[in-house]
Amino acid sequence: MDYESAVYYLYDQETDMIFHIIHEWNCNKGKENKLQYWELLNPKMIAKEWEYNYKTGAVHEKIINKIQNVCIDNYLKLYINTVLFGHTSLHPFDYLESYLPEDEEWDKDKVDEWLEDFEWFACDDNWNWKISDYAIDEMQRLLVNLIAEEDYTKKLFWIDQILNVVHQRSDLSSWFIDGGYHGLNIIFDQIGLPA
């Protein structure tokens, strides 16, 4: 897939994720201690894939696709949450306007009211908001390159770059890798790279 098509693909995935987040929030709004679902990557699976690539020069396409899909989904949740928390130049209403149910009248105040308590839904077990001003732009660039790359062995490079970005903040890494920062260290230790 070429770069421009990869940008459009990521945009289409963003649209799907917005609808998913709206649905998930509507189903869980008002439920105590209910947190937004995030799928995490298994560090041992990643380490085994890197090791397999090192020994054979090949990769398992199914595993690379799984890693890619989790990275895309979690990046999109991170980006959308950042917008919904008001940490971008967009107001949540302006961002969500075309995705909200048309059978109701929506305005900025109603969206703000609807998002009340969203910060306690879109957070981790330590009550850290799952947002990032730091990683969004770089992760988007890396993901578009990952999506555009057709050679599965070269996709490993882009995945490695994405994991390096999330590794720089322990809370961010915990939203992508099971075990967070320590899970990433498992990968680096198993394949013999410095953490």
Average pLDDT over residues 79-107: 90
Model confidence at 188: pLDDT above 80: no
Tell me how far apart the alpha carbons of residues 28 and 5 are, in angstroms, rounded to a whole number.
Answer: 34
Nearest CA-CA partner of 21 in 71, 91, 85: 85
Tell me how far apart the alpha carbons of residues 111 and 90 are, in angstroms, rounded to a whole number.
Answer: 13
Q: Tally DSSP H helices, then E strands, for the chain.
A: 9, 0
Contact 153, 143 (CB under 8 A): no
pLDDT in tens, 48-87: 998 899 999 999 999 999 999 999 999 999 999 999 999 8
Model confidence at 109: pLDDT above 50: yes
β-strand partners of 169: none
> Three-class SS of residue 46?
helix
pLDDT in tens, 119-138: 899 998 888 899 998 889 99
DSSP symbol at 175: T
- Is pTM beyond 0.95 here? no
> Three-class SS of residue 91?
coil
Tell me how far apart the alpha carbons of residues 153 and 78 are, in angstroms, rounded to a whole number.
Answer: 27
DSSP symbol at 166: H
In whole angstroms, what separates CA 124 from the centre of its chain? 14
Residue 182 pLDDT level (bands cut at 50, 70, 90): confident
pLDDT in tens, 5-63: 999 999 999 999 999 999 999 999 989 889 999 999 999 999 899 889 999 999 999 99
Nearest CA-CA partner of 9 in 56, 75, 53, 60: 75
Contact 95, 84 (CB under 8 A): yes
> Three-class SS of residue 176?
coil
Residue 192 pLDDT level (bands cut at 50, 70, 90): low
Residue 173, both tokens:
């890494």
Sequence-distant (≥ 6) Cβ neighbours of residue 45 within 8 angstroms: 63
